[in-house]
Amino acid sequence: MRHLIAANWKMHGDLSWADKPDEFEALLSKTDRADIDILICPPFPLLTALKNDHKIHIGAQNCHAAVKGAHTGEVSVGLLKSAGASYVIVGHSERRSDGESDADVKAKAEAVLAGGLTPIICVGESLDVRESGKAVSHVEAQLEASLPEDTSNIVIAYEPIWAIGTGKVASIDDIEQMHGFIRKMVGPYIQLLYGGSVKPGNAKAILGTDNVNGALIGGASLEMDSLSQIARAAL
Ligand code: PGA
């Protein structure tokens, strides 16, 4: 299966970051990366600004579940699509911790699919849950409640919350166990990403793990140098 290297810029950057795809291209040419997909998910205003002649996919970090309406401050899937997005991250733990429920995540994933884009559905356990030995059953319950009815065009990102932005990474054994479990649950065709402190130094081992089909990268995606090194590790 192709690898997807997905950058989640979170709330970083300004309009000068529109040049980052050019910078990325200078570091890793199109032919170098013919076998992988690169995705950048910037804050909303950068979606249309990103100078992207390079076949880098562009995605959003969130959307609203409704097609349109009186939802101040929200953005619809239709608008994201017209701005050039082909993926939308839904259910990131930073949004779940702000009150987004499994049902909300499912509704958003359904909306993304209905709009013709691909949802990247995030799941993952807290440190307490991991230490109580219930990580797998927690992720199972999240997936059961957050996945859309039709799973033929989705991506799943397993991101242990305690590994996000902390420099702590799940062990290769833990990643292999969780991804193996998710693979059994969802079947052979869905791309499974790992996220949580993926860096140039650990990318090769993580991306070489069974049932890991790419990575969702926060901190290390802000510099094109480290993002390109991670992408190279997937080749
Ligand atoms: P991180 O973030 O790479 O900075 O840990 C990953 C994410 O939140 O998607």
Q: Distance (Å, rounded) from C-alpha 216 to C-alpha 165?
A: 12
Instruction: Please indicate whether residue 159, judged by its CB atom, sits closer than 6 Å to ligand 1.
Output: yes
**Tokens 């970090």 sit on residue:** 61
Instruction: Please indicate whether residue 59, judged by its CB atom, sits closer than 6 Å to ligand 1.
Output: no
* Exposure string over 81-91, b if 16+ CB within 10 A, otherwise e: bebebebbbbb
**Tokens 């990103």 sit on residue:** 50
Ligand 1 mean position to 42 CA, how many Å? 13
Candidates 12, 40, 159: which one to mutate for ligand 1, based on the most atoms within 8 Å of Cβ? 159
Report if pTM > 0.95: yes
Which tens digit of pLDDT belongs to each residue from 80-127?
Answer: 999 999 999 999 999 999 999 999 999 999 999 999 999 999 999 999
Q: Which residues contact 128 (CB under 8 A, 6 or more apart)?
A: none
Would residue 210 be called left, alpha or beta, if left means φ above 0 and alpha means ψ between -120 and 50 degrees?
beta
* Closest atom of ligand 1 relative to the 217 alpha carbon: 3
Q: Which residues are catalytic?
A: 92, 159
Instruction: Please indicate whether residue 201, judged by its CB atom, sits closer than 6 Å to ligand 1.
Output: no
Q: What pLDDT sits at residue 214? A: 98
Q: Determine which residue's CA is closest to atom 6 belonging to ligand 1.
A: 218
Which tens digit of pLDDT belongs to each residue from 36-82?
Answer: 999 999 999 999 999 777 789 999 999 999 999 999 999 999 999 99
Candidates 61, 123, 155, 197: which one to mutate for ligand 1, based on the most atoms within 8 Å of Cβ? 197
Q: What pLDDT sits at residue 146? A: 98
Ligand 1 mean position to 206 CA, how many Å? 14
Instruction: Please indicate whether residue 192, judged by its CB atom, sits closer than 6 Å to ligand 1.
Output: no
Query: Which tops the pLDDT comparison, 30 or 138?
Result: 138
Instruction: Please indicate whether residue 165, judged by its CB atom, sits closer than 6 Å to ligand 1.
Output: yes
